[in-house]
Structure 1
């Protein structure tokens, strides 16, 4: 089970990294000379920056989850030391706290 999770997390990290690479490629393409087009592109840049930030955060969370799997601590609440419910881990695989401690 833990190897399967690590594989899933690693695949997700690769997909997120590809998204980041795509965002960087979009930025590298340059901007339109038309001022009205540039305004729209700036708005798109803000969205792309937000998506990149979210992807980087998720990559870090998944990397941390892989580390916890390797150390045998995956699924254990960092706050109280109890097991994190499987349903919670299914919804949020990188969860580090049980539902009670997360509140």
Structure 2
């Protein structure tokens, strides 16, 4: 099961890295000389910055989950040491805490 998850997580990381690269390409295009266009571009930049930040956080969570799989601690709550319920891992595969400790 963990091998399938590692492959799945790795694919997702690649997708997120591609998204970040696309965002960087969009920023590299520069700004329009028209002031009204620049206002719209600034709004777009804010959205792109937020998407990039979210992608980086998700990459970090997935990378950490892969590391936990490799060292045998995946699915074990970092706080109490109990197993993280499978339904929780299905919903949030990079979870580091059981439901009780997450609350």
Could you tell me which residue of structure 2 aligns to residue 96 of structure 1? 96
Which consecutive unaligned segments of at least 5 residues does structure 2 have?
none
Partner residue, 1:51:
51
In the alignment, structure 1 segments of 5+ residues that lack a partner are none
What TM-score do the two structures reach when normalised by structure 1?
Answer: 0.98
Aligned residues: 103
- In angstroms, what is the RMSD of aligned CA positions? 0.5
Cross-structure match for 1:83? 83
How many angstroms does 1:2 deviate by? 1.1
Give the match for residue 70 of structure 2: 70
Q: CA deviation at 1:52?
A: 0.2
Distance 2:97 2:28 in 1: 39
Partner residue, 1:30? 30
Q: Specify the alignment match of 1:42 in structure 2.
A: 42
After superposition, give the CA deviation of every residue in 1:40-59 in whole Å (9 maximum; x if it has no partner).
10001000000000000000
Cα separation, 1, equivalents of 2:16 and 2:86: 24
Q: Provide the C-alpha distance between the structure 1 equivalents of 2:17 and 2:84, rounded to a whole number of angstroms.
A: 28
Q: How many Å separate the matches in 2 of 1:50 and 1:87?
A: 29
